[in-house]
Structure 1
């Protein structure tokens, strides 16, 4: 079973994001209402979803997470991306004003967003901080918003979220929870080692001695008895009554990760799959172990009269016995759930989590009504088939298909494993065959448009088949699996069977390409090594002057010229089909990772630190073109008279003048984007890596 550390992925993410937080951010003016999204825009398909909310009237469901994503839905099954004003920072919490209906979302880098149209459009507000803001609540009695976050960040707004002011006098510890208790007109803020309270709307604060040196994991109000409840990372329940605070054990030493209640029963859950139930305000507890997984959240569904809990490893349980007995809800999903939304109007609950994994459960019969698989992973290769289907391959056995231009994805039928890293994906048009391969020496093959895949090669040892790329000759349908390190394989029957090639792999080989006219197959690698073959089986080695690693390669069909490049700005050209080579002056020492031949024989080279080189004279001269970004850039894609380049940190840049100038696009993610592909009509574009980003109708 899948387990994780009690502090959870979200807490680790927040801590990492806080590194380098600025103390004095620049001032900004309050944001106005955001304009609608343009008809064509990039948006992220697979964010991790951490927070959720049902609107006051129950008509709209909202969820939010990484990449500045906020989605809204009427039924928990069909979701629409909200306009978040090009925000790409993670959203950690969102809440609604019970009086005005205004929605506020908070997140990384001091992000505060505000919506007045049920969550469809969001405007940025000034927070005066760049630290992560992680939790949020609305105080009805004070008509005030409260928000807390890293390094003692505490903010309030008295004008319904338009303007925000700092709350001073608290700790420099991370503030993890915030709650307004209307019955006692008290504000509570949980820090790493104590709880702070204010009874005068934040003018004065004091700590609760009972909570000293305790890490509070949840705070809630138990309305039937006007009691405040809190749980700790040490297995305890804290109660605040009119006479003071009480401490009651739930299960000593256990990290209590979630707490929920109805009018008579408390239900607490732990980070290692235990559930505890109390019907006497925590005096005694009945415990039951469900599994070994982290339980992230529990909700009470008042219409169905059931408790529902969710957590890591697709944990999903329902109790209609007041928390004493639990039914497992199998979904065939495997990733982590982070949040639950009860939809009271139709007796359903929706669980959401990592990679946008989703499950909607009908609580009438505890049946699964809808699921969406997690899209958490790393995509290394994309192939857009003539049928319009998109196939992607990648790390940990990733092999998925899409028939919706990349907006939704399904797992293919393939016996891949988490140890399979499918770096390369190729299509043979004559035989309509798909091949995917990579470390530790595996190749999968499909003849039915990518629906089912057969493993056709598995190296005996991982060191024998570290396949970096598959090289295909579309005319002869020869396929070469380029190993680095290991032994190169080749196939003459569209990948059904494989032979070991006669080639020298003492220097690693990184990349390869084919001259479609002559059938020459070229591979490049370490120590300025170039290897050449006519059939994929017999190879001839050439060592160029220098010792640079070579990784970039392209063939220009306009001039029948090869270009290769790599470390230290190394750039070479061959005009006799790779028999002899000429060193070119790239005018850079940066690593050239990619070379591409575009229309009209324009050549582009991309590399580290935002490098773009351009040549329009068959490589005689190269010009450094400002890209506007500093991260490593990937291979160029040309589609519909536009050139696209993706990169690390979520960069997507475009050019409409043949690469002479570049514009930074809003990709809505800061995660690495490894590859890009376009449909045959160039109307749809996908960028993928740690996230999947699609361009098209939102």
Structure 2
């Protein structure tokens, strides 16, 4: 099978949503009030240069992990930034990092400077006067023991590291603070924690608080001394006051004496200043404390709510933030009104001490679990966003030019799990909403978009919070599966330890399977401890996690469990067969089962063991209904664990896989894999879907992405790669009318703005590979390329220009494009690189001739959008012409008869041609008139000739005046001049081209009226050029001078 050419760089697009995800690390530039940074839990590092109006990712292309745990900007040199990868908010969906990254140019470029096996980093502290002296609090592996954890110090900017504080291979540093008044003083919190598939533990004998007074050379444990609690401790947050020497706070999870402690003598003595449980609820997830930089009595705590104390920590008041679940805070050392705060909804900035905050609806860092699509046009992508809600996002917003937040809608309140849409009615959506909905049990929702109502339809609505799995009737995974049958949409399936079916949209339920899990009693534990239990219902174990029905056979069901079992039913759930294999490791978390769309007995499986500290990819295939299996992971690195596998429904053996970092593709049924990333950022890919000709990625940190048009992957073979040139058969192209104001705005350097009347979005412009401009939206998703995607492969870069010609069904040329040649200066061109190329034809006919120069009174002569029908694409390379048919399909929402659309195109072409005819003649006229004006000046010593030149120039100008007023250089002049004939004719174009209808009753007569007047003017100009100009040239010739050339 062929390998993807190195030149193949898939062009993914982010459709949003621009609603932020979890942020656990924030920082600011103390020398620039507009510059801030945040680190997304699985979305990389972002920077704003306008105080949070817009954000831009600065880690893409440099980082090899998406998870960020800490950010620090050097106060002495803000060009120096250190980032600790691997978040330390150890949820069940935590992603690992690969060490410390450093930038010395304010985030433009980065390099990894070590501690790669630390995986999760809690904090970074930089010496206030020396940017090369840096400390790192490394938590270490979240799912097992390792040695690279504790506090590390570098004295040479990260070139080398020394472990200056280490407790054990099961406890790492979670917090670290440096005293800016005396940077030799440091406080560090060591935390013993571990998370498995079925449990998480916060606390143990190796937890403690430490201080150093010599820059980390030596450390003193403070636990259990001088008023600081001892015994069994959990997570500890620590803060040093820059405003009051000696003042230190510690927020302590403790079995005996939890609360907020304060020392006013650098830890020599401690007092409990607050026992308020609201400050340290769910301590393993929060326990974040920050001292104010100007006031020694002011301290902040990030917890479920955001708290502030102004009396040294004795009492607290809540500060409202745009989102709850708060994690990090940076306070400007010079201005304590300037803050940036990170929470589960993104990063927000305040310039008034928290009174108001910037928006989180400009950050495409949403974390999705599972995704699906509907059958609308355009189709919508659905997903459950962690710590927000379930959403429906259009794949295209044809009427907006971009995909702003206003184009999306909330489809239920699910923040977890699967989401399913009835294939025959996109208004009915089923949502898993554990953690974000009442209703008990699995919090299953039926959302009706017509009514805008959510009905709770849990099969057995008992609460799961804080429960032992053995104590509940049903065990529901945080991401339990929901399946609506494609064969019979009345069959709704869900998975707990059983498979349940409803045939009345959730009104009633039937168990159709026995327990399909191992149900190992040792895994039936109440998650959390040894101090506090975790009651969030996210750790329920021994559940069905993957559920699928064959697209070829109704009732052929597959069920995979999170503890490694796989079952098959071939009779709609009446009986089940255990087809678990010893090819995969015990307790594999089976996350996806994908039945083949070509053979009923073929099935693919994706699983992971990352929570067992095993990061290998696990993909398997069976071709005999699960009787035998083979692993199919060749080409995927052994650290890039897998969550999803999907089969292409058009090309047999074409597979897609989503891993912790990217998307892979196999062209040989899993025998080998290759990266399919292109411009897709490094990000955990939790789900993939193939919809028509598109591949959709549901990421857990960068929202939704779509790879438009899988044509090259479906048609690529050895013959294509061996040929000098190959033209792929384009997919049918939907003819969608551009929005009337779609091209408004733009042209300025830097940020531009686009008002869609109801919406307002920002963008920057960049050049495409075909020489045109595209808009990169800063707070809105991107629509699909407008037009036909034409793919072709060149074995090598051609020596001469290549051409691409579009002809209609009668062989008439519609448009033609060429690659760059020796005479190319600017404008659109055909890419001609060795390897795979893509060209986007906007479906328009070629433009007519335009007026040369930059005269503001000139109008264009645009070609219209081609009518629906069959066309031919002709690619000419080195004397060889390759052809493929191209079908333009009418937008399904349009009911206009074909004859009306053809009449619309015909009239628009007539306008284009009439304008082009006039422009061609006027270009000659302008050239002649310029020469005549020049002759009039040069012939000052021959008044009769000078006068003849000036008079002829004026006649030409007067004859041109009814068509257009020449030489206008300002918009004021254009407005004062009023509309001329060509401007009036050009104004007819948007009237005709605004929608998919035939010409109005007055359009053709009005065109005829204008065309007749234009023809009269053109005849006058022709007469001047053909009669009077030769007469003047004869005068010049008689005088022994040159001639005026048109």
Query: What is the TM-score of this pair, normalised by structure 1?
Result: 0.61
Mapped to 1, the partners of 2:10 and 2:658 lie a distance apart of 24
The answer to whether 1:352 aligns with 2:342 is yes
Contact 1:67 1:668 survives alignment (8 Å): no
SS at match of 1:88: coil
- Unpaired runs of 5+ in structure 2? 1-8, 87-96, 140-146, 191-207, 253-258, 281-286, 397-401, 433-440, 462-472, 517-546, 560-566, 584-589, 608-616, 708-775, 778-1046
> 1:417-428 alignment to 2 at 5 Å?
422-428=418-424
Residue matched to 1:157: 154
Contact 2:423 2:489 survives alignment (8 Å): no
Mapped to 2, the partners of 1:569 and 1:207 lie a distance apart of 48
Residue matched to 1:524: 557
Quick one: which of 633, 646, 655 aligns to 1:636?
646
The answer to whether 1:266 aligns with 2:297 is yes
The answer to whether 1:251 aligns with 2:225 is no
1:113-171 CA-to-partner distances (Å, cap 9, x unmatched) read 01123224321112375364422222134552222334763333333x24122044765
Greater CA drift, 253-262 or 61-70: 253-262
Change beyond 3 A, Cα 1:211–1:119: farther
SS at match of 1:163: coil
1:86-127 CA-to-partner distances (Å, cap 9, x unmatched) read 432632211122233211112346611011232243211123
Change beyond 3 A, Cα 1:138–1:605: closer
Quick one: which of 215, 220, 235 aligns to 2:240?
220
Deviation, 1:665, is 5.9
The answer to whether 1:53 aligns with 2:37 is no
The answer to whether 1:470 aligns with 2:484 is yes
Deviation, 1:634, is 3.4
Contact 1:175 1:189 survives alignment (8 Å): no
SS at match of 2:109: coil
Higher strand share: 1
> 1:414-563 alignment to 2 at 5 Å?
422-428=418-424, 433-436=427-430, 444=446, 446=448, 453-455=452-454, 458=457, 461=460, 468-473=482-487, 479-482=490-493, 488-490=501-503, 505=512, 511-513=548-550, 521-524=554-557, 529-531=569-571, 548-549=577-578
Contact 1:141 1:182 survives alignment (8 Å): no
The answer to whether 1:663 aligns with 2:674 is yes
SS at match of 1:522: coil
SS at match of 2:672: coil
Change beyond 3 A, Cα 1:384–1:92: farther
Mapped to 2, the partners of 1:672 and 1:610 lie a distance apart of 15
The answer to whether 1:605 aligns with 2:638 is no
Residue matched to 1:96: 73
Residue matched to 1:594: 594
Deviation, 1:468, is 4.3
SS at match of 2:84: strand
Quick one: which of 221, 238, 261 aligns to 2:263?
238
Deviation, 1:595, is 1.9
Mapped to 2, the partners of 1:139 and 1:681 lie a distance apart of 53
Change beyond 3 A, Cα 1:401–1:251: same
Alignment size in residue pairs: 542
Quick one: which of 97, 101, 105 aligns to 1:113?
101
Contact 2:662 2:683 survives alignment (8 Å): yes
SS at match of 2:42: helix
Quick one: which of 677, 680, 689 aligns to 1:677?
689
Larger-Rg structure: 2
Contact 1:136 1:146 survives alignment (8 Å): yes
Deviation, 1:472, is 3.1
> 1:8-27 alignment to 2 at 5 Å?
none
Deviation, 1:58, is 2.8
Contact 1:378 1:690 survives alignment (8 Å): no
Contact 1:64 1:70 survives alignment (8 Å): yes
Mapped to 2, the partners of 1:690 and 1:39 lie a distance apart of 20
Change beyond 3 A, Cα 1:690–1:352: closer
Contact 2:384 2:390 survives alignment (8 Å): yes
Greater CA drift, 102-111 or 658-667: 658-667
Deviation, 1:52, is 0.5
Change beyond 3 A, Cα 1:194–1:262: closer
Deviation, 1:71, is 1.3
Deviation, 1:548, is 1.8
Residue matched to 1:80: 56
Contact 2:226 2:268 survives alignment (8 Å): yes
Contact 1:250 1:276 survives alignment (8 Å): no
SS at match of 1:67: coil
- Unpaired runs of 5+ in structure 1? 1-37, 291-316, 318-327, 533-540, 550-565, 571-589
Quick one: which of 105, 111, 135 aligns to 1:146?
135
Mapped to 1, the partners of 2:643 and 2:491 lie a distance apart of 26
The answer to whether 1:399 aligns with 2:417 is no
RMSD over aligned Cα, in angstroms? Answer: 5.4
Quick one: which of 197, 219, 241 aligns to 2:212?
197
Contact 2:329 2:340 survives alignment (8 Å): yes
Contact 2:663 2:675 survives alignment (8 Å): yes
Mapped to 1, the partners of 2:348 and 2:429 lie a distance apart of 32
Mapped to 1, the partners of 2:405 and 2:329 lie a distance apart of 22
Mapped to 2, the partners of 1:67 and 1:165 lie a distance apart of 26
Higher helix share: 2
Mapped to 1, the partners of 2:101 and 2:481 lie a distance apart of 45
Contact 1:480 1:489 survives alignment (8 Å): yes
Mapped to 2, the partners of 1:340 and 1:186 lie a distance apart of 23
Contact 1:222 1:229 survives alignment (8 Å): no
Mapped to 2, the partners of 1:253 and 1:235 lie a distance apart of 8
Residue matched to 2:370: 379
Mapped to 1, the partners of 2:276 and 2:507 lie a distance apart of 58
1:520-575 CA-to-partner distances (Å, cap 9, x unmatched) read 7434368854337xxxxxxxx986xxx624xxxxxxxxxxxxxxxx54499xxxxx
Mapped to 2, the partners of 1:187 and 1:258 lie a distance apart of 18
Query: What is the TM-score of this pair, normalised by structure 2?
Result: 0.43
Mapped to 2, the partners of 1:204 and 1:249 lie a distance apart of 27
Change beyond 3 A, Cα 1:639–1:94: farther
